[in-house]
Structure 1
């Protein structure tokens, strides 16, 4: 099924932010009393949530958005693309949209941003979902190799012309091999179209510099889990690259009000796309009650 059939019922539009400029959003459930923000991973864009925005919008005012430098949002060349930049982009988005507080869910880099936002602006977070998040210690040699592989694949998105095959390889990294059939030609071509834009080619070296620095021995951005005071869910998968289930189990005791859920369906780094029905139900259960079952 087309990702645009998945988005039927959602509004795709742009919001102008004072610092971070033109920001593309997908919105559903406008008028619902509680808001839910969905954030993608590094190099991604809001199409990662094609199978979630409308379904979750039946219960919440749902907003997925492209980070600055990503997707079809503004490609600024005068910022560091630090976690602080993404945190402040989220704050500006909430301010401009008149949202005082919201549930926040972030995948991969989005989880790191979720944690940073929850620590800096605790009064603005209701419940938080850390979806296969980064920002926690890597505990296995395979995890370290996964990170190296990601950096190499991401480098192909900058400095050289992307191709269908290079983008497909980058997206195969995201999904469990048994789910590669979900990588439709349309989905891959949508990312190829974004990666081929001149403005993305200009911002990509800045966006991906954090991966390069970590692979060169730099310190990765870590979530201050002990300072996250809201009810939080580590939503994990059986085949998550970089951070396996053992990494999530090690991180869990550091979250004061945390719990862990491992998806029942075999999945990789994109549970919201690989098993949307399960993902949506778990998120709805947690946001409504603080429990996953």
Structure 2
């Protein structure tokens, strides 16, 4: 921005797409800690004329949960299990996790000065989070069947014997667990899945170290409008949006140990189940 101002003599236009909006948000929060508060607005007015947020995941992306648990190939000639391994190997992937619009971030600016940089950015949820359904989302974000048998025998590694999985799963009726957006972003989902999925431990570590423990911002919290003079949000329309998933054990070893049994879509203020193939309405 400084170089552009020097070369062009005026402020810049910022175009950010998808996760790029999260990067830009992080830059703004970092800048707020680096310069005096009264100079922050002045700096933005001087260096940024307009911000175009294209497809910004302002409350996260539901599809990131799908990629985390079962894998999304995005058109690549690879298996979903391989895609899952690749997706989970990048700590930045969790940056797209969905979260509740009712759970705000701590005031990092004051913590930065009074508590130092070593702190956990916990979510602070208001009453609406607990009185409303599904963290303000149109439906339950994740519903997953887990076997009654716990431990490594329930889901062995790729080197273990697949037959053991089938015999263990037949010992009892699966239990259906449901998780809201808040329970995904605060790690409750992955902590619950520790006994059922070997990837959960690494995901918890990434979440606590790089998100909840970030000295600048817990990005899995709602945005506030940046104090930029001109802000434009651009999205596509007339497309079904995935808002919820049902998972079940596949009977295969990790990383292919989960399959999607149903997907819930939102379309024109209605919900569509891939399995039931019918619409039902919801209220905000």
TM range (shorter): under 0.3
TM value normalised by structure 1: 0.23
TM value normalised by structure 2: 0.24
Write 1 or 2 for the structure with the bigger share of strand: 2
* Structure of higher CA gyration radius: 2
